[in-house]
Amino acid sequence: HTDSTNMRLRLPLLCIILEVILIILFGTLVEYNDDTHAKLWNENRTDSATRNDHENEFYYRYPSFQDVHVMIFVGFGFLMTFLQRYGFSSVGFNFLIAAFSLQWATLMQGFFHGLHHGKIHVGVTSMINADFCTGSVLISFGAVLGKTSPVQLLVMAIFEVTLFAVNEFILLSILGVNDAGGSMTIHTFGAYFGLMVTRVLYRPNLDKSKHRNSSVYHSDLFAMIGTIYLWMFWPSFNSAITNYGDPQHRTAMNTYYSLAACTLATFAFSALVNPEGKLDMVHIQNAALAGGVAVGTAGEMMLTAFGSMIVGFLAGTISVLGYKYLTPVLESKLKIQDTCGIHNLHGMPGVLGAVVGAVTAALASPDVYGHGVFADVETGKWNPQSRGGFQAISLAVTLGMALFGGLITGFILKLPIYGAPPDTHCFEDGLYWEVPGEEEGHQELYEVATPNEVEKLSS
């Protein structure tokens, strides 16, 4: 398999071509926005009447950007290091496809979100949005983890980022719905896109790599680094691009309470579904985060701490039950091999979040909101029920886009040109990485018995 998976030409060629294209497109299309451009900022500064107090305040939104950035690179990256021999690829490929996706997303989102005289304006908000889009690619990565080459992942990112931008444009700009934390645009889209891709890439003989498709003690601890960072910064994630003022406070707080309740549900059901009452790291690492996903739409609304905790508790519960009872069925019956169980962490909780968002929107009233999120409630232009309806339609659109996009992308990824790993060498870093410990020097240190020696011992 060494030749067929050799990345020496494929990966450099693709990376360099993509980056050159990106550089050319950035050179021709991208400009600093008014807060970032030296001349524009100085010109506008004199016209202070047109600027709010917090405009061009670097520390407005930038701390949110950094928290989101940590979730994308440390959170997602380390969450996937749970596999015993796939840590380099988990963190490394996460790094690679995120670095590509955020550039490509800047272009795609800039194109759809409105050009300024033919130019894309970039600033702190575009950086956050690009990270959001990248997040959805990393969710899909979770489904195909261990079964794809880095070239395949980059190709997947090209298509997924593009479709993400289209779907986001339809939801936010055409349908005008709320989805600041991305229950629909990020989680539902990323999950069902990835599930469809892994369905198309179904490997009937994947059990040949079964022994590597599990964790070891320290790999589970590395994964907990990812989990905890995602959990802690999720309030920042959901609130990063909500409006200035009360919505940003509310979103952070709702997410915080939802996650806390979700964590207790996760521990409860993880012990309950185990015959010996033992906790399962897979649940703790993943299901405890479902509460953040499930308030991604309604978080900015007047969900209240009470409502958030109920949603979080439900999300943790369905997520654990999904890992225990649904994932095996999806694999055996529907041929969906979902390495990280993204259906349980992002899929079902994302759909739950979309439904909660639709219901909360439909129940909005001026008594509760005043001039808040649903300012148009009072103008009479929209009524909450139709708002709720558009939220529900958005879920359907997202599911359709994700499944259709995943189907097409899956077939493109199936072409035998990307150096995908053979069934016998899935979940194995050694295929694409120089792995230490294979070299001589190390033997002396860890003194681990080699396969031959173990054989000798066993005989």
Applying CB under 8 A, which part among 122-130, 157-165, 335-343, 398-406 lies near a copy of itself? 122-130
Query: How many residues line the site for a copy of itself (CB under 8 A)?
Result: 156
By the rule CB under 8 A, 233 interacts with a copy of itself: yes
Closest approach, Cβ 135 to a copy of itself, in A, equals 14
Stretch that binds a copy of itself, among 111-119, 175-183, 277-285, 386-394 (CB under 8 A): 277-285
Q: How far is the CB of 401 from a copy of itself (least distance, A)?
A: 26
Asked if 277 interacts with a copy of itself (CB under 8 A), we say yes
The interface with a copy of itself within residues 243-262 (CB under 8 A) comprises 244-250, 252-253, 256-257, 259-261
Contact window for a copy of itself (CB under 8 A) among 156-164, 329-337, 384-392, 448-456: 448-456
Helices (H), 297-419: 304-321, 327-334, 342, 348-362, 366-369, 375-379, 384-413
Among 135, 142, 146, 150, the residue binding a copy of itself under the rule CB under 8 A is 150
> Which residue among 79, 80, 108, 124 contacts a copy of itself (CB under 8 A)?
124
Task: Answer yes or no whether residue 451 interacts with a copy of itself by CB under 8 A.
Answer: yes
Angstrom distance (rounded) from CA 165 to CA 112: 7
Least distance (Å) between residue 399 CB and a copy of itself: 30
Q: Which is nearer to a copy of itself, 26 or 202 (CB)?
A: 26
**Least distance from a copy of itself to the Cβ atom of residue 398, Å:** 26
- Residue 56 near a copy of itself by CB under 8 A: yes
Contact status: 45 vs a copy of itself (CB under 8 A)? yes
Binding of residue 32 to a copy of itself (CB under 8 A): yes
Near a copy of itself by CB under 8 A: residue from 113, 119, 212, 414:
212
Is 309 within 8 Å of 257 (Cβ atoms)?
yes
Chain centroid offset of residue 139 CA: 4
Pair 329, 281: CB distance under 8 Å: no
Q: Does 321 bind a copy of itself (CB under 8 A)?
A: no
Q: Please give the backbone phi and psi of residue 204, each rounded to the nearest 5 degrees, phi first.
A: -65, -25
Look up tokens 């654990």; give the residue: 320
CB 350 within 8 A of CB 293: yes
User: Does residue number 447 form part of the binding site for a copy of itself (CB under 8 A)?
Assistant: yes
Tell which one of 79, 108, 122, 402 touches a copy of itself (CB under 8 A): 122
Q: How far is the CB of 313 from a copy of itself (least distance, A)?
A: 6
- Answer for the pair 437, 429: CB distance below 8 angstroms, yes or no: no
117 binds a copy of itself (CB under 8 A): no
Site residues for a copy of itself, 383-422, by CB under 8 A, read: none
Angle at 164 between CA 158 and CA 167, to 5 degrees: 145
- Cβ atoms 320, 270 nearer than 8 A: yes
Contact 267, 94 (CB under 8 A): no
Q: CA-to-CA distance for 257 and 319, rounded, in angstroms?
A: 17
* 217, HSE (Cβ side, Cα atoms, 13 Å): 0
The answer for residues whose C-beta is within 8 angstroms of residue 212's C-beta and 6 or more apart is 83, 84, 85, 86, 146, 426, 427, 428
Q: How far is the CB of 257 from a copy of itself (least distance, A)?
A: 7
Closest separation between CB of residue 170 and a copy of itself, Å? Answer: 27
Token output for 54: 């917090």
- Which residue do the tokens 């022994």 mark? 211
Site for a copy of itself, residues 95 to 114, rule: CB under 8 A:
95-96, 99-100, 102-103
175, 271, 362, 408: which one binds a copy of itself (CB under 8 A):
271
CA nearest to 26, candidates 107, 127, 98: 107
What is the rounded CA–CA span in Å between residue 287 and residue 50? Answer: 46
Least distance (Å) between residue 166 CB and a copy of itself: 22
For a copy of itself, the closer of residues 253 and 363 by Cβ is 253
Q: Which stretch binds a copy of itself (CB under 8 A): 94-102, 178-186, 190-198, 345-353?
A: 94-102
Choose among 382, 61, 59, 66: nearest CA to 243. 61
Residues 361-390 that bind a copy of itself (CB under 8 A): 367-373
CA angle 397, 120, 160 (to 5 degrees): 35
